[in-house]
Amino acid sequence: MKEPWDKAFLVSVHRGPYPEKRRKPEFEITDIPSLLQNHPTIAVLTDAEKNPVVIAEILSSSPLTRNARLVIYVCEQLGYSGEKISEGTPEEIAGMVFSEPNVVIIKT
């Protein structure tokens, strides 16, 4: 990415592996399009179910963001030997496969 994202709005849709210990998140994955209206950069901590592809599909189909010029960065396995960062539009990201764990950065 080569740019700071310390001013990004942080969202966690990660629920954790144990259903009995899961907390109710402040935001749902479907809130991301409306959050982008007030936050030009959003960082999303994902999980296996609420992953980059699902986020990209939501952004592509939402009336709030489907015509926006969004860039999505998917940061896979940060800090591991398999670390990788992919960049694309929501339509491009929706057609890719990603390793876990990952973080999604969305910029307007």
Structure tokens at 32: 């991301």
Exposed e or buried b per residue across 64-100, where buried means at least 16 C-beta atoms within 10 angstroms of its C-beta: ebeeeebbbbbbbeeeeeeeeeeebebeebbeeebee
Tell me the pLDDT tens digit for each residue of 59-106: 999 999 989 999 999 999 998 998 999 999 999 999 999 999 999 999
35 or 48, which is more confident: 35
Q: Where are the beta strands (DSSP E) in 13-80?
A: 41-45, 71-76
Q: Which residues lie closer than 8 Å to 102 by C-beta, 6 or more apart?
A: 46, 51, 52, 74, 75, 76, 77, 78
pTM (predicted TM-score): 0.90
Superfamily of domain 9-107 in the CATH hierarchy: Tetrapyrrole methylase, C-terminal domain (3.30.950.10)
